[in-house]
Amino acid sequence: MDLNLKDKVVIVTGGAAGIGRATVERFTAEGAKVVAWDVTSDPKVDVTDASSVQRSVDDVMSRFGRIDVLVNNAGIVRDAQLVKWKDGVIGMMDDATFDAVINVNLKGVFLCTRAVVPHMIRSGGGAILNASSIVGLYGNFGQTNYAATKAGVISFTKTWARELGRYNIRVNCVAPGFIATDMVKAMPQNILDSMAGRTPLAKLGEPRDIANAYVFLASEAAKFIHGAVLSVDGGLVMGT
Query: Which CATH number belongs to the domain containing residue 128 in this structure?
Result: 3.40.50.720
Which structural domain range is residue 20 located in? 9-239
Segment (H or E) for 127: strand 126-131
Q: What is the mean pLDDT of residues 137-159?
A: 95
State mean pLDDT over 212-216. 98
State how many domains the chain has: 1
Q: Could you say which of 138, 146, 167, 214 is catalytic?
A: 146
- Identify whether 167 is a catalytic site residue: no
Question: Is 1 inside any structural domain?
Answer: no
- Is residue 4 assigned to a domain? no
Instruction: Give mean pLDDT, residues 205-232.
Output: 96
Q: Are 235 and 201 in contact (CB under 8 A)?
A: yes
Q: Is residue 210 part of a domain?
A: yes
Q: What is the DSSP string of 143-154?
A: BHHHHHHHHHHH
Is 2 part of a structural domain of the chain? no
Among residues 45, 77, 70, 74, which one has the least CA distance to residue 59? 45
Least confident of 81-85, 136-140, 225-229: 136-140
User: The whole model's pTM is what?
Assistant: 0.93
